[in-house]
Structures are given as C-alpha cells and as structure tokens.
Structure 1
Amino acid sequence: MSQVIPAGFEAFDGIKGFVETTGPLFMKTEEGKAILGLRVEERHCNIADICHGGMLMTFADMQLGVGSQFETKVGKFLPTVHMSCDFVAPAPLGCWLEGRTTVLKQTRKTIFATCLLTADGETVFSASGIMKIPGDGNGKFNDIVLPRRG
C-alpha cells in the first residue's frame, strides 16, 4: 500500500479530539481554496476493505467546514448545522482521498456549501452542508481559527 502523499500537501495541524483519531489529515491550498487529503488505511475501512461510510462523512464534514472557512475568509470555526450526503462509489483501502468545497451562498449567519470527495481521482462521495457563522459574542467557537497555508 502506497504511503506517498501527493505534492503540495502538508500535515494538517491544529486538529484535536475526535477528528484527530481519524487522521492523519493533510491539506494544501490552491487559488484561495483548501483541499484536504487522507490516505485510506485499514483502520478507516469496513469489513469489505473500503473506506467506512462514517469515515467518509467525517472527512466530508471537515472538508465542508475548512473549505468554507478558507473560501469565505471567515476566521472562525464553523459548526455544521446540517449535512446531507450521497455515497457514489467505494473508496478502496490504500487510495488517496481528496476533498474540494464550493461555497454556494453566504449569509450573515450561515454558509451553504457542497463538496466532492475523490479516491485516486474518481468521485466517490458528495455532500452539501450548512455551517453556522458564530456571532461576535463570547461564544466558545469565536477563538478557534484554523491555520492558513498557501
């Protein structure tokens, strides 16, 4: 199984908690957009040696939030308030999983976005999500800013 990380990707720092247990995640930026990557390991797979659906959903949730934060330049953690998804094809053990986000609309309080996940360049998963933009009060999300690269 290849352990090669594609050119331009660096370890995604600053992750803790549940998402830390699902990594390691990698990130690169292109034209103001954040692209996450992950090499699918045995621990990410189900009994059929394909990436578990829950892992794909977790990865897509990260991609939606991080991708939206970068594209909109909102300097805050964006909690997901809704996410819907479609499993398009299997992502096999050892593949390079990559996500890309498109922001559809930003309002004062929410961001609407979609993302596609590819495994070795083939689309395997799509998702749409709504992320909340925290207010400027004393909320716990206001101080969480993801690292910027590129």
Structure 2
Amino acid sequence: MTQHNGFPNHIPFLSELGVTCKHSEGGRSEIELALEKRHENSWDMAHGGVLMTLLDVAMAIAGRSADTQGRGLVTIEMKTSFMAPGRGTLSARGQCVHRTTTMAFCEAEIVDVDGKTVARASGTFKYVKRIPPQRTAAEGADTGADG
C-alpha cells in the first residue's frame, strides 16, 4: 500500500497544508503539522480553521483505523473548544471512543511541543463504502457527476 505523508490515501488538501500522519491503528491516531506563516491568523498563531482541520482529520483517521471493513468516514458533526494559542509544531491525537455498525464517535486534542493543550474536539462520523471518484491527471478534478 502506498503511503502519502504517512496517510494511506492521497488527500490533496492535507498535502498542501503539510500535515503528516505519525500513527493510525486500533482506533487511535496522531498527525502533525509544523506551523508556517501561511497557517497563521493576524495574531501570529494558528488559524482556527487549521486547528479544526487537524482535529477533524485526527478523529476521522482514528475512526477509520477502528473499522475492520476498511470503509471511509464522513464528518456528520463536530464540536471544538480552543484553549490556547497554537504555535510551533502541533500534534493532534485522535481516539475512537464508540462505534456502531454505521457511525463512529471520536475525540481529539491538539498539543504543542511543550505538551500544552491548544484545542479539543468531539465528533460524529458516518462510515461509507463509496469509493471517491477518480481524478484525471490533466485536470486534477473529479470525473464523477455527483462529485
């Protein structure tokens, strides 16, 4: 299986951000991002959207790693709490806390290099069997009509 920055699938958005997957197994995950100027808000700290992306992905990867059928996940809902400015290299750790046959309930937290909690989230995810549409090499776009 080809790995993409540690992820089992190529996710263009995460590649563009520079996110790497350090661990994904048994309902747990850890992803990492070394913040750059492009990730910051006007206060020279991680933009909230970047933090929410890390939390969302950490939870989804944890939920996906808990599934024996190899299905993907889509986010149904997510609650986020911001606790401290995000600076430097951030690690997001996710955990699948409960599963049903169709849903995963997950939690995640982001910590900085000193171990300080930057943000926490909980989310509900739906397992899906659908294979994403193939992208054409020339366009980089979905070929399916329902995208």
TM-score by length of 2: 0.76
Matched residue, 2:108:
115
Q: Report 1 or 2 for greater relative contact order, CA contacts < 8 Å, sequence distance ≥ 6.
A: 1
Hey, what's the Cα distance between the residues in 2 that align with 1:81 and 1:30?
Answer: 21
* Equivalences for residues 1-150 of structure 1 within 5 A: 11-13=5-7, 14-22=9-17, 24-29=18-23, 32=26, 33-92=28-87, 95-120=88-113, 121-135=115-129, 139-141=130-132
Instruction: Compute the displacement of 1:99 (Å).
Output: 1.1
Which AA in structure 2 matches 1:60? L
State the identity as a percent.
28
CA RMSD after TM alignment: 2.4
In the alignment, structure 2 segments of 5+ residues that lack a partner are 135-147
Answer yes or no: is the 8 Å Cα contact 1:34–1:71 preserved in 2: no
Instruction: Compute the displacement of 1:18 (Å).
Output: 3.0
In the alignment, structure 1 segments of 5+ residues that lack a partner are 1-9, 144-150
TM-score by length of 1: 0.75
Matched residue, 1:7:
none
> Would you say how many aligned residue pairs link Structure 1 and Structure 2?
128
